[in-house]
Structure 1
């Protein structure tokens, strides 16, 4: 009398097999190193899994080393994460770049201000630049144009008089 059965419809669980990742132990100059090899040509999901595994295993002691001709190059332990989308020259057509830049313009701008901002961005974008960086997150509305031949970068925002 104390038991009540309740049935629920549930999605069946999907079994995801664990990835087979080799962690090599190397001893050099009386120091032990645990090594997880990552190849940039491999599946991006596997690459991400290996990096997450390394973060779980090593935590704050994690060091990245990139193979070079004369040995390994150690990358800095601290990274600054920025909310910017980098669009190098040659990866997008002019129309695609214009569309991406126009998407950064706030829809809240008035109908009189929006064309002025678009014209400013189009004018700067018409010059030969090596790449564009678009702000995302808290930097939405900001666009940086790189002009290495002039040794300058131009930061433009969708705010009038800014």
Structure 2
């Protein structure tokens, strides 16, 4: 099963207003998927948030989603299209074209930011992987319950509910969800191998490199790559200008520019940043992106 429409089946054995967790029991099959995608789970990192390229639920959870707003009239939109031509001497030339089309304006839905927690019990060989939230069987929580069950199903093709008694779950450890790249190492090198983001198309990969190269042409002081809730994001620090640029690997999202202390911003989730309107500027990935970014960095 890949998706559910109703939570009734999963809540049939749970009392009304009873509390429970959503996850999977870690057997050999689940371990294989963990070892393949999340090598530090249960070793260095007890918490993790899924890579946004696992599927649509993981993308909605980690980076949010941009969907057409059909309540508004259509407008001119753009999509990237790669092309290759051969010159008269047989030499190939490739590039990317922004192709205009008539479509509905886009609406951004913030990410859910649900974490997973690994509960290891080697003595009884019954380790669990659960969403790091205690749910309550009430109608008000059905939307979150449904979302998390579908998130687990998307990653592991199975999902269960657990009533955990006698085990105190530690609260999420607050830490800065970024790691600095070695000085001089371009951020693009962290993504170009395609292993972390296997579903990026050729056109998207070209556009990612073009954006990152353009930002780096302004000589940032430091570059970071996102971990945890910021998987799929990178940050470029311009200390002299007091500007900090947060950009998404996913084309069609947006670039966020902050003027506040980066240490303060980095401790917040992307959801908190967006809902709090903490950014100085938000620049949509569009044909005008370079011009708008240059204005911010050179004014």
Instruction: State the TM-score bracket (shorter-chain normalisation).
Output: 0.3 to 0.5
Structure 1 length-normalised TM: 0.42
Structure 2 length-normalised TM: 0.24
